[in-house]
């Protein structure tokens, strides 16, 4: 699902690198992220091979393992990675007395916790994520929704699991191509600007450029999607200042490759614009990323024109006169993510340009209403 490490930005700050908190991020979350990053760094030194069976108690340093000083460096690295995983869990408020049994053997990595059977993994990273998720799953103080969110999102990546804790179902807030930037309105509940605007976290390769608190139900955020972003579903979370384990919203941002592919979109220029009757409707479809569709409107009398969209695709629209002058533009003023333009207009030829808001594809329904202006008495 492309849910790797998270990049964050707080109330005020420039773009953030992965797992670096700027501005007013939660101290506990920042601490947990730092520990998780250290854990992954330690795991990198846990070379494949066969080593000793090690017993690690929660909250204890790796050096507390019996005979630690005499262990192979790869064993020491694996033990340190698991001790830091415990610490990241504790930094988020987790509590556990479950001892871990860990081992490297024949290129595989074993992790077992008291109360359940252990498992072998092909990579130390995967074993760390399994350990963290197992601790969350057995924590009686956490809500079922939190446990489900972690299990759903982050089965094999510790950095993701540290922040993938949600109260609400995941909602896709935008689709954007690699290399693109998108402004997104995030809707939810419980957003707070006490102590500063909330912190927004996103998966690796997605930079959070700005966050603006609008209301307890609305935030505005700008995301820049780099070429390093994973294709498909990526994770976005919102944290109020001073919170860590429970965020106030979790969302998905869909990343596409941004390459031109597939058939041409119909009506992709003014020269081949589709005529739109007044009043009338039309079905549109953006079938190639980055394309736009054009509709031609011949207005024979002054009046009030209303143009709106609905349907699956999140499209935006621009109304231009015959000379190409932009008269109006809109993205989400209509129903759902549809656009809506409305105002008085003089007789003439006009063009409506429709494109996907975020570089994606999809179908939509276009509706046009027109009321002739009453003659002056």
Domain residue spans in the chain? 26-162, 171-256, 270-372
Q: How many helices (H) and strands (E) does the chain have?
A: 5, 21
CATH 2.60.120.380 fits 270-372, yes or no: yes
214 CB-near residues (< 8 Å, 6+ apart) = 185, 220
DSSP letter assigned to residue 18: B
For residue 261, what pLDDT is reported?
A: 44
Q: Could you tell me the CA-to-CA distances from 193 to 17, 68, 190, 213, 250 in Å, in that order? A: 23, 47, 10, 7, 18
The per-residue pLDDT for 44 is 79
Q: How many residues does the chain have?
A: 377
Q: Are 126 and 43 in contact (CB under 8 A)?
A: no
Give me the percent of the chain exceeding a pLDDT of 90.
27
CA 328 to chain centroid: 30
Q: Does residue 75 contact residue 54 with C-beta atoms inside 8 Å?
A: yes
Residue 32, pLDDT score:
61
Helical spans, DSSP H, in 70-123: 73-91
Question: What pLDDT does 86 receive?
Answer: 86
Distance between CA 4 and CA 40 in Å, rounded?
12
Cβ atoms < 10 Å from Cβ of 133: 21
Q: In which order are the strands placed within the sheet that holds 181-187?
A: 181-187, 218-225, 206-215
Q: What is the DSSP string of 206-271?
A: EEEEEEEEEETTEEEEEEEE-TTSPSEEEEEEEE-TT--SS-SEEEEEEEE-----SSPPTT-SGG
What is the CATH code for 171-256? Answer: 2.60.40.10
Displacement of CA 330 from its chain's centroid (Å): 24
Q: How far apart are CA 191 and CA 125, in angstroms?
A: 33
Task: Tell me if 128 sits within 8 A of 40, measured CB to CB.
Answer: yes
| Predicted local distance difference test score (pLDDT) of residue 144 | 59
Which positions ≥6 away from 80 have C-beta within 8 Å?
39, 42, 62
Sign of CA dihedral 225, 232, 88, 38: negative
* Global pTM value: 0.41
Q: Show Cβ contacts of residue 295 under 8 Å, excluding neighbours closer than 6 positions.
A: 267, 273, 274, 275, 276, 282, 351, 352, 354, 366
**pLDDT value at position 26?**
39
Question: What is the Cα–Cα distance from 298 to 351, expressed in whole angstroms?
Answer: 9
pLDDT in tens, 131-152: 888 887 777 766 555 565 555 4
DSSP string, 22-79: -SS--HHHHHHHHHHHHHHHHHTT--SS----EEE-TT--GGGSTTGGGS-HHHHHHH
Give pLDDT < 70 ranges for the chain.
1-34, 36, 92-93, 141-170, 242-246, 258-265, 312, 359, 375-377
Asked if residue 111 lies in contact with residue 101, where contact means CB atoms within 8 angstroms, the answer is yes
Give me the pLDDT at residue 264, please.
60
In this structure, the strands spanning 315-321 and 348-356 are antiparallel
pLDDT, residue 328, reads 93
């Amino acid at each position: 699902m492309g849910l790797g490490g998270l990049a964050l930005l707080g109330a005020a700050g420039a773009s953030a690198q992965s797992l670096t908190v700027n501005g007013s991020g939660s101290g506990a979350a920042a601490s947990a992220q730092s520990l998780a990053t250290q854990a992954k760094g330690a795991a990198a030194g846990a070379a494949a091979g066969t080593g000793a069976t090690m017993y690690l108690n929660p909250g204890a340093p790796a050096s507390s393992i019996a005979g630690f000083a005499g262990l192979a460096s790869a064993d020491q690295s694996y033990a340190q990675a698991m001790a830091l995983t415990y610490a990241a869990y504790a930094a988020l408020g987790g509590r556990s007395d479950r001892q871990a049994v860990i081992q490297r053997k024949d290129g595989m990595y074993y992790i077992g916790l008291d109360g359940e059977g252990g498992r072998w993994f092909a990579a130390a990273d995967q074993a760390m994520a399994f350990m963290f998720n197992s601790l969350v799953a057995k924590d009686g103080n956490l809500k079922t929704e939190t446990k489900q969110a972690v299990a759903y999102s982050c089965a094999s990546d510790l950095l993701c699991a540290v922040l993938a804790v949600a109260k609400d179902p995941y909602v896709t807030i935008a689709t954007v191509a690699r290399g693109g930037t998108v402004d997104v309105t995030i809707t939810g509940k419980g957003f707070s600007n006490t102590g500063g605007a909330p912190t927004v976290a996103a998966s690796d390769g997605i930079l959070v450029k700005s966050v603006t608190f609008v209301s307890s139900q609305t935030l505005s955020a700008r995301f820049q999607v780099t070429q390093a972003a994973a294709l498909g579903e990526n994770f976005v979370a919102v944290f109020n200042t001073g919170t860590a384990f429970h965020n106030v919203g979790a969302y998905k941002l869909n990343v596409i490759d941004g390459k031109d592919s597939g058939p041409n979109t119909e009506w992709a220029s003014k020269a081949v614009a589709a005529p739109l009757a007044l009043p009338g409707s039309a079905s549109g479809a953006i079938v190639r990323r980055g394309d736009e569709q054009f509709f031609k409107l011949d207005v024979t009398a002054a009046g009030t024109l209303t143009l709106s969209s609905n349907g699956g695709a999140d499209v935006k629209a621009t109304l231009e006169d015959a000379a190409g002058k932009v008269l109006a533009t809109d993205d989400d003023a209509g129903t759902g993510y549809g656009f809506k333009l409305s105002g008085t207009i003089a007789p003439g030829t006009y063009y409506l340009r429709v494109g996907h808001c975020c570089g994606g594809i999809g179908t939509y329904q276009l509706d046009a209403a027109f009321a002739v202006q009453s003659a002056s008495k």
